Amino acid sequence: MNKCKYVRLSARVTLADYKRLEEIRRKYGFKSIYQILNYLTYSFLRVADREHDTIAEPVPEEIERMFEDLGTPALPVRYRRARPVRRSADL
């Protein structure tokens, strides 16, 4: 039997965006924000990496259009990871 290995992915969003996701979750009947993120991830993989797509059904045109501008930094980076300040004494 082939066992799948899973990796946890995480994303940071602003509180305002989190509230928007909660509203979308309720409106469309998702069980959790995690479920929304899974849906988006697998939709993206189907469009961006078609040769490894295991689903025979074609991707709806609306979903393809969502990812038309792949590689275009249209959205601003809202969170940057803090980097520690290194001093010469730390070396």
Residue 66 CA to its chain's centroid (Å): 13
Domain that holds residue 29: 15-70
Tally the domains of the chain.
1
Whether residue 81 lies inside any domain: the answer is no
Residue 4, Cβ neighbours under 10 Å: how many? 4
Task: Walk along the chain (91 residues) and give the pLDDT tens digit of each residue.
Answer: 568 898 988 888 999 999 999 999 999 999 999 999 998 888 888 888 888 888 888 888 888 888 777 666 555 566 566 666 666 665 5
Residue 62 lies inside a defined structural domain of this protein: yes
Q: What is the pTM of this model?
A: 0.64
Note whether residue 90 is domain-resident.
no
**53 close to 45: Cβ distance less than 8 angstroms:** yes
Find the DSSP H helices in the chain: 15-28, 33-48, 61-66
Identity of the residue numbered 14? T
